Structure 1
Amino acid sequence: MYLRDLARGLARRWYILLIGVLLTIPSAIAAFASTPVTYTAQASMVLLPPSASVDKTGNPYLQLDGLAQALEILGQRMSSESERSAIAAEHPGVTYVAGPDTTTSGPILLLSTEAPRASGALRTLTDLRAAAADTLNGLQAQLDVPESSRIRITDVAVDDSPTVSTKSRTQITLIVIAAGVVLTVLVAGVVDRALAARRRRFTGEPSDEDAPPPPVIVAAGEPESAASAAWADDPQAMARQDDPEPADDDPTAPETAEAEADTTESEAVTPARSSGSSGPRLPARRSPGRSRGR
């Protein structure tokens, strides 16, 4: 079905489109209202160099170079399955993301939680911050690193209140609207084709596929290339034009044949006269057709 035919069919079945719209709008509203919102909370933590490497009057934020590798290791450990299982056991239904903050070049760990309730998002974020500090300290304790030489971690920014996230609600609503539109168009197209086929079956009208092609009309002043294109669909007509045959009922055909026979006889008698022979002169034989014509 072409797009033009589909548009005409939808215009003829406008009542189906109206019914589809009336059904799609309430469905989208119901999907939007029934999909719960989620709450997200974020926290940023920065890694600091060991206290032994910083003078008493020094600034640890000026010595953040070389901590990117430790940040990568901490992010991998926080995203491991064992850590996720421990968080899920204490906070069911809550998801989180832990990893380096790609928006900055410093050694900053980004923590993000998502929960169906605001209180759950905040409590999970608090436990994640404590787990990040314990994990970093535990990794260094496994290597027997002295306390004064261990990398530290501290908060940079922590959300006091969670943010309402409507991403899942919007996605589900758009899916319902798209499904309603597609289903409405398909139903209208199928119904239109079925009714058109039924009408042709009762009235005997040919379908669009069985209709003959339109004739090719060549204007008088059209160039030869266009005329050749018009004859291209009928090779027999071109053969008849190149080699015409006389019609059987042409009345001038017998007279033309008789005239050619008389000319041949006259040419045969003329040499005998010119030779000056004494023999008797034979009268020229007349054609029966010519006598009848006289």
Structure 2
Amino acid sequence: ADKDMEDNDIVPAPKLIEVVFQNCRGQVDHWVEPYLRITVERLNRTQKTYLKCLFMQLIADALYYNAALTLSILQKLGVASEIFHLWFFLLQQVKKSGLRANFKREHEKKVCCLGLISLLALPADLLPGEALGRVFRATLDLLVAYKDQVAEAAKEEEAEAEDDDDMDGFQTDDEDEDGNVDDKEMGILAEDGDEADTLTLRKLAEQAKSFRPADDDDDDSDDDYSDDEELQSPIDDVDPFIFFVDTMKVIQSADPLRFESLSQTLEFNYQALANGVAQHAEQRRVEIEKEKLEKASAATVS
């Protein structure tokens, strides 16, 4: 890594490596160590919280790519404990409002979920009981946050669609039956409104430049890096809830005593969260199957 490069200049690198890990699972094992090495080196020097989170996402991607290999490399570099301590700290950090300070977007949460769940799948000799419990709790918290965010986004989309439908059927009093506005009235409005509109737009532009939410108490702005939700990736087809439940079933089958020990040490609220996630996973299975059938039906018709 170029030590002279500024933090802002580094951003494309972890995003590119993320693409490699997600698109080349099982094909770039020889690149995992060098990628992690430069990630850790830069992580130790960066001051920007957003970039720290981006590096942690990259490590989550590496865990999803190959958890055992990634963990062994982090241990070889002598940074495994330090990395996970930082990751859990960033996951738990909240603003004054109580909202999450980091990993705020759906994509970021999903990547972290997949990385954490991949850790859960490791055998007991690689992930001891205490570590398993901590990862399990962090995974549940993040899955619930991800679920709530996806549901909220769906509600907003539905509301926007309804608003669009309402606007399509809306006809103002100033329009005639053909949808035309009186030319004379239009001219008056234009003359009176142009100057005011120009001033308003200028004010809004100035406000937009300096705008920062009052509750945004961190020192980073990640507005320039908001394109992640638009990117297509192989993980788009991976449902984290189903992945979590299937992983826990594997643990239960492979090591019943370990699974039982985890279940017995869980606090009541986490038991409730686990049950809720399991129910949601089954709901997602049904929804995904329905979507597949609808797509197949549409393809047949076309």
TM-score by structure 1 length? 0.19
**Greater relative CO, 1 or 2 (CA 8 Å, sep 6+):** 1
> Higher strand share goes to which structure?
1
Computing the radius of gyration from Cα coordinates, the structure with the larger value is: 1
